[in-house]
Amino acid sequence: MVWLPKQSVVVPVDFSDKSFDAVAAALELVEDASHLHVVHVLPSLEPAEPGVIWSTIDDPSRARHAEQAIHERLEEHGLKQAQVAIAFGDPGREIAEYAQKASAELIVLPSHGRTGITRMLIGSVAERVVRLAHCPVLVLRD
């Protein structure tokens, strides 16, 4: 891996401060903020959710809302140019898939470090991304 500015870096965000810090950190690795792909993965809608039953919410409307919310947060961090994408499903899998689609050279993400029973049951997103990604993954530790 050569430490030259990257053309495409994927940074998943989950609306935590840590994840937006990771976006800021990733900015050091690219020439221009527009080479950053900020991606957020939404869980699939439950078929019995009231908004689904009455078709008042759907994936496109959720994507619109989430995208707008990410843009607002990015602006606070002075990262207006970054590209924003929304995916649906299992975060680990979707992040890896998106990175491949965007021909990412690197994925940067913070580790939240789940503990106890949730770690045992579902592990961490970072773990899954590392396992599934086709490109290098940089996990930021505290």
Partner 1 sequence: MSTARIVRRLALSAVLGFLFLVGPSSGGVARAQVDSAADAPTDEAAIREAAPDANSAVSADGKAETATDEVDGEPVSWIRRQEKHVDELFGKWLVEPLASVLFFNFWSDQWLLVNEKTGKGVSVPFVVLWLLFGAVFFTLRMGFINVRAFRHALHLVRGDYDDPDDEGEVSHFQALSSALSATVGLGNIAGVAIAVGKGGPGAVFWMIVAGLFGMSSKFTECTLAQMYRRISPDGTISGGPMHYLKEGLSTVGTGGTRTFMQGLGVVLSIMFTIMCIGGSFGGGCAFQVNQSLGALKAQFPDLVEWGWLYGVLMMVAVGVVIIGGIRRIAATAEKVVPTMCAIYLLTALYIVLSNYDKLGAAIETIVLEAFSWESVYGGFLGVMVVGVQRAAFSNEAGIGSAAIAHSAARTDEPIREGIVALLEPFIDTVVVCTMTGLVIVITGAYNNPEYADLIDRNQGAVLTSEAFGHVVRWFPTLLSIAVVLFAYSTLISWSYYGERCWSYLFGDRAGIVYKILFLVFVFLGSVVTATNVLDFSDLMILSMGLPNILGVVLLSGRVRRALDDYWGRYRAGEVTRDR
Q: Does 44 sit near partner 1 (CB under 8 A)? A: yes
Dihedral of alpha carbons 101, 3, 70, 52, sign: positive
Q: Which of 53, 80, 101, 113 binds partner 1 (CB under 8 A)?
A: 53
Contact 118, 127 (CB under 8 A): no
Q: Does 75 sit near partner 1 (CB under 8 A)? A: no
Distances (CA, A) of 105 to 35, 53, 98, 101, 128: 11, 41, 12, 11, 18
Q: Does 54 sit near partner 1 (CB under 8 A)? A: yes
Q: Does 113 sit near partner 1 (CB under 8 A)? A: no
Q: Which of 4, 47, 115, 141 binds partner 1 (CB under 8 A)?
A: 47
Nearer to partner 1, 7 or 16 (CB): 16
Q: Does 122 sit near partner 1 (CB under 8 A)? A: yes
Contact 87, 106 (CB under 8 A): no
d(CA 9, CA 117): 32
d(CA 96, CA 33): 21
CB under 8 A: which stretch of 3-11, 25-33, 48-56, 129-137 binds partner 1? 48-56
The tokens describing 33, both together, are 């903020």
Q: Does 16 sit near partner 1 (CB under 8 A)? A: no
Q: Does 56 sit near partner 1 (CB under 8 A)? A: yes
DSSP state at residue 57: -
Q: Does 24 sit near partner 1 (CB under 8 A)? A: no
Binding-site ranges for partner 1 (CB under 8 A): 15, 40, 42-57, 61-63, 65-66, 69-70, 89-91, 114, 117-118, 121-122
